[in-house]
Structure 1
Amino acid sequence: MTALDLVRQGVPRLRQAVAERDLGLEGLHIWRDRHAPVTHRWVSDDRRDVFSISKTFTSVAVGIAQAEGLLDLDDPVLAHLLDLRDYLMPCLFEPIAIPNPQWHRCPLGFPLGAVGLFLRTEEIAQLGETLLNNGQFDDRQLVPADYVQLMTSETTATNRPDPDNQTYGLHCWLCSRDGAWRMDGMYGIVDRPVQFPRPRRGAHR
């Protein structure tokens, strides 16, 4: 069974389970390489605070800034108070079709970094697609590929009991199966990129 078959069979079952069990799921967006995304909404896809998923965007900003020679990963945080939103507009947000995102700011005027970024489900998925493609979007290298790899290889053990919460990368969580990792925000806001093996040419008709 291919990944496409799993999607085709799994989405109707999920929709039925949400209806029967009142799971409170608001939206689903599955990006598939070389296929149109599979989406379903239970409520309108409005921008909202994605909480700790903001951290992954901050991490990506650090990776881009490092490649540009603006900072080093070992530098103290307070040595580089970038306006993350303005910095990411031309080098990430605009290229992946996230127009004018809002980010809560501290009293000094800087985006909070850890929380406060307002996005739609589809916009979160745009970053997931970019990172799955080793930092590329529409054949344009936006995030350095070596930093994308570092995000899930430079890890810290959390000693938490849940297998999906035991390993933390550079502002992303490593999952316990399928080689997946995720951006994870409070109240169940999750983007879980996973790369399924592509079928060999001619293997499926």
Structure 2
Amino acid sequence: MPSHPALLPRSTPAASGMSSRSIITLLDRFEAQSVECHSIMVVRHGHVVAEGWWAPYSAERTHLLYSVTKSFTSVAVGLAIADGLLSLDDRVVDVLPDHVPADISEQGRRVTVHHLLSMTAGHRTDSLADAWRLEPGDLVKGFLRVPFPEAEGTRHAYDNPTTFILARMVERVTGQGLPEFLDERLFRPMGVEHAEWDRVASGAAFGFQGLHLTTEAVAAFGELLLRGGLWGDRQLIPREWVELATRRHIETLQIEGWSENLDALRGYGYQFWMSRHGYRADGAFGQFCLVVPSHDLVVAVTAAVTQGEAILDPLWECLLPGLDQEGSTRDDEILADRLRRLSLAPVPGSAEPKRSAKARLDACAEGSALPEGTTVTVDPVDGGWIVGLGPSLNIEVGHGDWRESAPLGRPVVAAGAWQDDTFVADLYVITNPHRVRLVVDAEAGTAVATWNIVPLANSDLAVHLRSPLMTRPDVA
């Protein structure tokens, strides 16, 4: 059970009409397919019936949600519309006139809130890189300068700047920052104590990514949607907006560079994806809030995978068959024990408590997390090491267990070991899906530090250890 105040009541699978065996089968499937899951929470009939975190991830930690953030921005838009401050037909050029380029096209003038929400402004691909290249200091203006080859409202293209612009529109009409507006209207009334936002260099929240929440907060958001925006006796989101945002507005096409899967082609709502079952908030590398009204079911997942179907396929194939099946208290106990013991494996090897190393980093390795030539030192301390990365980044690394430090503000949790003449450590940037594998060849005096999955915002490890992260996606 989590140590922080619970947002949702607890029950057992058997008491909620589920078989624990289906959840055990799901965990087996993740393990057999080497799916790196960080957390899972299953909510049935309004009660949490299964919850687990793979150490070193834990219940009280927030986790970067990537594009799950978009669905929260959608809610902010819905609240502004309900307040009479915005409408679906409002145009960008009217709400944000100071961001309109002099050479704007006629189609650019016609782009509305509806087009932004449904990502049907007329681009064929994500315009983020082009928009930021055209206007490095003004993404709204850059978006309006990128050509629109398709008529507005006719074609869906996954287009990150649409959500950025929606966030700026909400801020303009409400007079509040997006984080402050959602904190007042959504998070505090729900009892969510901490929501962290990554920001662009100006200090504005991305809107299209960058929100960090606990797994339970994500599950509670899904339950709020399932209840039609009702939380206890308070209507936090208008039911009409929930229904409008979570229904299909446009068909979705296969996106170049994305894996092919059945859930990606079910259509798009207002910053929500339709699914084979219900709908979902969907973030890069396996962050999900799945809402299945037909089964009174919500599932929240955080993970580190390159393809979303690595999570979705097992969920549909393992979990759903266990609904409305008779369970047993014995199976519930077996599942609870399994969930308590979830862990990612620390690096195997020996401690060699008196051995140290010094090396220089080779940044030619694919997915390098540090600059070429960075000095790397490994110095033993009681039960582990201090790893120095350059002049000012010192990270505590445990042997056989996890050590936590926060050299630049955000926590990093690490474990390592000696494997013959090589020191190996996994450095988990614990508030996001990413980790760095450090390999130091003590004899050769060389080292590599590579990401498991390169972060979307920036590949420099130091950037991700600062809080709040302030950057923008790299533009080649």
TM interval, short-chain normalised: 0.7 to 0.9
SS in 2 for 1:168: coil
Counterpart residue identity of residue 168, structure 1: Y
Q: Which residue of 2 aligns with 1:194?
A: 292
1:7 CA displacement: 4.7
Q: Which residue of 2 aligns with 1:181?
A: 279
Structure 1 unaligned regions, length at least 5: 199-203
**C-alpha distance in 2 between matches for 1:147 and 1:53:** 17
Q: Which residue of 1 aligns with 2:26?
A: 14
Distance 1:3 1:69, change over 3 A: farther
1:165 CA displacement: 1.1
1:34 CA displacement: 4.4
The reply to whether residue 170 of structure 1 matches residue 275 of structure 2 is: no
SS in 1 for 2:292: coil
**C-alpha distance in 1 between matches for 2:230 and 2:204:** 27
Counterpart residue identity of residue 86, structure 1: E
**C-alpha distance in 2 between matches for 1:175 and 1:7:** 23
Distance 1:153 1:15, change over 3 A: closer
The reply to whether residue 54 of structure 1 matches residue 66 of structure 2 is: no
SS in 2 for 1:107: coil
Q: Which residue of 2 aligns with 1:104?
A: 198
**C-alpha distance in 2 between matches for 1:134 and 1:185:** 22
TM-score by length of 2: 0.39
**C-alpha distance in 2 between matches for 1:181 and 1:10:** 21
User: Is the Cα–Cα contact under 8 Å of residues 181 and 192 in structure 1 kept in the other structure?
Assistant: yes
1:53-202 paired onto structure 2 within 5 Å = 53-77=68-92, 79=96, 80=169, 82=171, 83-160=177-254, 162-166=261-265, 167-176=267-276, 178=277, 180-196=278-294
**C-alpha distance in 1 between matches for 2:15 and 2:289:** 17
Structure richer in helix, relative to its length = 1
1:16 CA displacement: 2.5
Distance 1:194 1:87, change over 3 A: same
User: Is the Cα–Cα contact under 8 Å of residues 41 and 48 in structure 2 kept in the other structure?
Assistant: no
**C-alpha distance in 1 between matches for 2:289 and 2:15:** 17
Distance 1:3 1:138, change over 3 A: same
Counterpart residue identity of residue 183, structure 1: A
1:196 CA displacement: 3.5
User: Is the Cα–Cα contact under 8 Å of residues 248 and 274 in structure 2 kept in the other structure?
Assistant: no
Distance 1:139 1:162, change over 3 A: same
Distance 1:98 1:7, change over 3 A: farther
Q: Which residue of 1 aligns with 2:440?
A: none
User: Is the Cα–Cα contact under 8 Å of residues 3 and 196 in structure 1 kept in the other structure?
Assistant: no
Provide, for residues 147-186 of structure 1, a one-character-per-residue CA deviation record: whole Å limited to 9, x for no partner: 100012351112225331120110111012x3x1000000
**C-alpha distance in 1 between matches for 2:86 and 2:228:** 21
Distance 1:20 1:163, change over 3 A: closer
**C-alpha distance in 2 between matches for 1:81 and 1:28:** 32
Structure 2 unaligned regions, length at least 5: 1-13, 97-168, 172-176, 255-259, 297-325, 327-476
Counterpart residue identity of residue 171, structure 1: Q
Distance 1:15 1:129, change over 3 A: same
SS in 2 for 1:148: helix
Provide, for residues 21-42 of structure 1, a one-character-per-residue CA deviation record: whole Å limited to 9, x for no partner: 3221111101122434421221
Q: Which moved more, 1:107-116 or 1:63-72?
A: 107-116
User: Is the Cα–Cα contact under 8 Å of residues 279 and 290 in structure 2 kept in the other structure?
Assistant: yes
**C-alpha distance in 2 between matches for 1:3 and 1:147:** 32
Between the aligned residues of both structures, percent identity stands at: 31
SS in 2 for 1:61: helix
SS in 2 for 1:156: coil
Greater Cα radius of gyration, structure 1 or 2: 2
Q: Which residue of 1 aligns with 2:43?
A: 31
User: Is the Cα–Cα contact under 8 Å of residues 39 and 54 in structure 2 kept in the other structure?
Assistant: yes
1:52 CA displacement: 0.3
What RMSD in Å do the two structures reach over aligned CA positions? 2.3
**C-alpha distance in 2 between matches for 1:14 and 1:197:** 18
Aligned length: 196
**C-alpha distance in 2 between matches for 1:48 and 1:164:** 23
